[in-house]
Structures are given as structure tokens and as C-alpha cells.
């Protein structure tokens, strides 16, 4: 793989069966000199095609940093990130080809306020070189997949509700039919009805074979959608396993705390009703 690669794009051996994401020994630091702070340490995580992985941890644990490092938006101080077999230094090219997409933590940042919904949805396709005549009908089918009516196409993001905007952001991320979508806190800013609907939509989209990274500070909100859960604590992955195992048999005390089955340390543990709802979800 490391020998002669005269044309980077052609040189990649990706037959679509290997991991879509491979994070290996990843470290990230912010700041310089005495202000240098570790944000991620020795994070290793692999995601298979079509798999949904929840990345869970409290605020400041490094979740958004992991997303940024995977996207090549912050430099790694150690380790490596490969997407569909390519080092993320090639992120620009992967992005142009629509292999990876990202939904920002802040739903307002995901959409350009001056672009109509149609233009927002069509833009990633135009970047890929799809002619507008083909891009528009394709964008419309994705609007349908996130359960929104076509009359929204003419509107601006500011005229939409938070739940509608987040669905557009999801549709926009999916319109290029990427291999991997990273969603940073996709439901955190939404009310519970919209939260449930977006998670349902994501679940249905899984059928198309896209792999998802679902970042959340709330284990309960993604446990029913993710196949596997990885738990970040102060920049380190302290636990990873199937969603079922992590919820049923959490190994790390921090995971138990997130699940509310440990005595209170910091923050509010889940109450009994929430734990039962969570277990019911996993048994379904
Ligand atoms: P999370 O998304 O889990 O809330 P972040 O990845 O945003 O966590 O932050 C992880 C740590 O890195 C925190 O201590 C945060 O203060 C720090 N951090 C995040 N972004 C920056 C930045 N741009 N500059 C300096 N420190 C940062
Ligand atoms: Mg964050």
C-alpha cells in the first residue's frame, strides 16, 4: 500500500468490504507550550460498512474533537485515521467524491441561511459534478426520505422549525449517498417528539448501507439506533461493545454512571423510568 502511488485516487485498494473508518491510536492536543492540553489520547475505533456506532460521553470528553479529527479539521498529534482505506489527509478529495459527510453539532451551522432548501440539497451533488437537471430530482427524493413535503424546497432555513432544519441537514448529508456520515449531537437540540422521529429516520436510512457515527452526551437517546457504543471519558475510550452489552453489562464505572446504575458521583444519573425505557428499547 505504501509503495509507489503515482495517482493517489487510483492507487487506493478499496473494494468496499474493509472498514469504512479506522481510527488507530489517535491523539489530539489543543494549544501550544504551557497551554497545550490533551483532548484525545490513544483512541482506536473501527467501523464496518453500514454499521451505526454511538460515541457517548459528557460535555468536554472529546466527542466533537474526534469528529473533527476524523474529518481532518484538526491535526492528529498521534495515530492515524483512514476512511475507506484512505488517510484523512485526503479528506478534501473524499468529500468531493461524497464518501464522507458531516452534520454539525449546531444545526444552524449545517445550512447556509442564504440558500433555499433546494439549493442546500443540490449543492453537494453539484460539487460532485452531477448536472443540475439530475441533481434536483435526486434532492427531492431525499426530502421524501426525511419525511418532509416538497413545498419546503423554495424556503430559506430561517423559515423552518428546528426539527425541519435538522431533517434537511440529514438529507443534505445523505444526498451524495456517502459511505459514512458523522452526526454530532443530531438530536440534542430537539424536543422529544422530533428526537424520536429523527432517530427513526436514521434507523430507516441504515437500510441503504450507510455507516453512521452518532455522537451524543446521552446514551439513552442513541442506544436504540446504534449497533455498537463507544464511551469517551476525558479524551480516552474507556469502553466499547455492542449497544446491548454496554447497556446490560457496563464494565467501566463511568458507563455505569451514565446509565445511572452507580451511586451518584457527578451530574444526575438516569432515573428508574429512563433506565427501564432504555432497556425496553434494546429488548425490542
Ligand atoms: P465534547 O464534544 O465531548 O463536548 P470537545 O471535543 O468539544 O468535547 O472538547 C474536548 C476538550 O477539548 C475540552 O476540554 C475542550 O475544552 C477542549 N477544546 C475543544 N475545542 C477546543 C479548541 N478549539 N481549542 C482549545 N481547546 C478546545
Ligand atoms: Mg461536542
d(CA 125, CA 107): 20
Specify the pLDDT at position 24.
96
Specify the pLDDT at position 2.
46
CA 58 to centroid of chain Cα atoms = 16
Q: Please measure the distance between the N-terminal and C-terminal CA atoms of the chain and give it in whole angstroms.
A: 43
Instruction: Count other Cβ atoms within 10 Å, centred on residue 1.
Output: 7
Helix (H, G, I), strand (E, B) or coil at 184: strand
d(CA 178, CA 201): 16
d(CA 262, CA 248): 13
Q: Which atom of ligand 1 is nearest to the CA of 66?
A: 6
Instruction: Count other Cβ atoms within 10 Å, centred on residue 28.
Output: 22
d(CA 279, CA 224): 9
- CB-based contacts of 69: which residues, under 8 Å, 6+ apart? 23, 26, 28, 40, 75, 76, 81, 88
Specify the pLDDT at position 91.
63
Contact by Cβ (8 Å): 83, 180: yes
Instruction: List the one residue out of 146, 199, 203 whose CA is nearest residue 169.
Output: 146
Contact by Cβ (8 Å): 69, 102: no
Q: Could you tell me if the CB of 25 is within 6 A of ligand 1? A: no
d(CA 279, CA 273): 10
Q: Could you tell me if the CB of 41 is within 6 A of ligand 1? A: no
Q: Which residues of the chain have pLDDT under 50?
A: 1-11, 262-267, 284
Distance in Å, CA 63 to ligand 2 centroid: 5
Specify the pLDDT at position 106.
74
Specify the pLDDT at position 170.
92
Which residue's entry shows cell 450507510? Answer: 210
Measure Cα distances from 141 to 2, 149, 153, 188 in Å.
Answer: 40, 10, 12, 26
Q: Which ligand is nearest to the CA of 30?
A: 1
3-state secondary structure 31-42: CCHHHCEEEEEE
Cell representation of residue 63: 466527542
pTM, 2 dp:
0.85
d(CA 174, CA 38): 33
d(CA 249, CA 114): 48
Q: Could you tell me if the CB of 36 is within 6 A of ligand 1? A: no
For ligand 1, atom 26, name the residue with the nearest CA. Answer: 30
Specify the pLDDT at position 273.
57
Amino acid at each position: 500500500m505504501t509503495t509507489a502511488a503515482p495517482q493517489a485516487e487510483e492507487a487506493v485498494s478499496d473494494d468496499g468490504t474493509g472498514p469504512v473508518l479506522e481510527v488507530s491510536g489517535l491523539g489530539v492536543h489543543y494549544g501550544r507550550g504551557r497551554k497545550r492540553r490533551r483532548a484525545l489520547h490513544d483512541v482506536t475505533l473501527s467501523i464496518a460498512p453500514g454499521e451505526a456506532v454511538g460515541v457517548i460521553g459528557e460535555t468536554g470528553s472529546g466527542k466533537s474533537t474526534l469528529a473533527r479529527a476524523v474529518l481532518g479539521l484538526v491535526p492528529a498529534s498521534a495515530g492515524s485515521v483512514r476512511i475507506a482505506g484512505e488517510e484523512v489527509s485526503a479528506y478534501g478529495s473524499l468529500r468531493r467524491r461524497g464518501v464522507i459527510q458531516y452534520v454539525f453539532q449546531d444545526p444552524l451551522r449545517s445550512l447556509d441561511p442564504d440558500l433555499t432548501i433546494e439549493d442546500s440539497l443540490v449543492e453537494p451533488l453539484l460539487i460532485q459534478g452531477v448536472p443540475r437537471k439530475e441533481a434536483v430530482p435526486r434532492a427531492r427524493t431525499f426530502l421524501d426520505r426525511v419525511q418532509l413535503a416538497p413545498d419546503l424546497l423554495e424556503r430559506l432555513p430561517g423559515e423552518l422549525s428546528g426539527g425541519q432544519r435538522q431533517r434537511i441537514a440529514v438529507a443534505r448529508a445523505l444526498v451524495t449517498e456517502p459511505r459514512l456520515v458523522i452526526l454530532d449531537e443530531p438530536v440534542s437540540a430537539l424536543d422529544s417528539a422530533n428526537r424520536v422521529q429523527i432517530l427513526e429516520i436514521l434507523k430507516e436510512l441504515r437500510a441503504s448501507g450507510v455507516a453512521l457515527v452518532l455522537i451524543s452526551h446521552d446514551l439513552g437517546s442513541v442506544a436504540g439506533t446504534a449497533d455498537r457504543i463507544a464511551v469517551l471519558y476525558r479524551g480516552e475510550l474507556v469502553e466499547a461493545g455492542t449497544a446491548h452489552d454496554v447497556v446490560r453489562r457496563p464494565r467501566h464505572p463511568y458507563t455505569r454512571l451514565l446509565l445511572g446504575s452507580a451511586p451518584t458521583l457527578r451530574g444526575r444519573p438516569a432515573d428508574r423510568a429512563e433506565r427501564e425505557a432504555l432497556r425496553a428499547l434494546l429488548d425490542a
